[in-house]
Amino acid sequence: MKISLATTWNQQCGISEYSRSLVSALTKLGHEVTILGSTVFPLLKEDEPFVTRLGIPLECDILHIQYSSYIFTREYINSILTIASNNGTKCFATFHDQFLPGFDYEKLDGVIAHRNDIFQHLPEDIPKYVMPSGILTSPVRITSFGLGRNKNNEIQKVCDKLGFDFLVSDFRNWISQEELLEFIKRGDATVLWYPDNKAAGSSSCARLAIGARRPLFVNECEWFKELHGVEDVLFFKHEGDLEAKLEGYFDNAFIKNNNWDTIALKHVFIYKGDR
């Protein structure tokens, strides 16, 4: 689909960031998006070729207005709604705050809001969709460190399967414990995987990792046996067990249901008339 999005863009505005995330996800789905940009704020950078300021929605399948009370004038909104509807373009609006008096609601094919109460003053016959703001995500980041006994290749393999990033502090480039703590804090969790050794002592690396206040995943072996029962220390037995425990720990249904890829897909269903 060809979608024209009326919004703030390249500007210091939460809706600009919202729109950028939505456009990125819609583009990943194969849709072509152009921007009809507001002039309410100064630009933070030069516009891309697909942006026109206070432009006209031409040759598009969808016009989608990102509405807040300060972004566009009533006259501009009604003018682009008239042009789009006369061209057979389906028209939608997302209300980031309360409705605009004098808005040509009859030209809208649907309205979106983040909460139900935003709809209270809108005409009853307009299709309404509650959709939360999306969540911008980044890959889980796993860290590890030590004096060379750690099974980094096996940890890397598990991280690759899960789509996680893996960072290792190379023991050949010696850094202080304070620097190691800062390194560990760059990650979401630490994994230590040591070969078993019946003569092993207690792992000082594990204790340092605990001090960073991140979850610590360790394998069942002599090095870590006194850590059973310690808060945020999770034990695994083998590669498959580590994979399952990392996946389970970082599985988050709220993020899955509200990440921008999911939100973009919901937009497409609405554009097509699916509920």
Domain boundaries, the chain: 2-136+259-271, 141-250
Per-residue pLDDT band for 163 (boundaries 50, 70, 90) equals very high
Digit-coded pLDDT (tens) for 58-112: 899 999 999 988 899 999 999 999 999 999 999 999 999 876 677 888 899 999 9
What's at 273, amino acid-wise? G
pLDDT at residue 121 above 50?
yes
Q: Which two tokens stand for residue 95?
A: 């209300």
pLDDT score at 146: 83
Structural contact between residues 28 and 87, judged by C-beta atoms closer than 8 angstroms: no
Interior CA angle at 183 toward 181 and 187, to 5°? 110
Give mean pLDDT, residues 230-252.
96
pLDDT digits (tens, 9 = 90+) for 28-48: 999 999 999 999 999 999 999
pLDDT at position 171 over 70 = no
Report the distance separating Cα 227 and Cα 203, nearest Å. 10
Enter the CATH code of domain 2-136+259-271: 3.40.50.2000
* Mean of pLDDT values over 13-27: 97
User: 107: which 2 tokens?
Assistant: 């030209």
Q: Do 141-250 and 2-136+259-271 fall under one CATH topology? A: yes
C-alpha closest to that of 45 among 73, 11, 16: 11
Residue 240 has pLDDT above 60, yes or no: yes
Fold of 141-250: Rossmann fold (3.40.50)
Q: What percent of the chain stands above pLDDT 70?
A: 97
List beta partners, residue 33: 3
pTM, two decimal places:
0.83
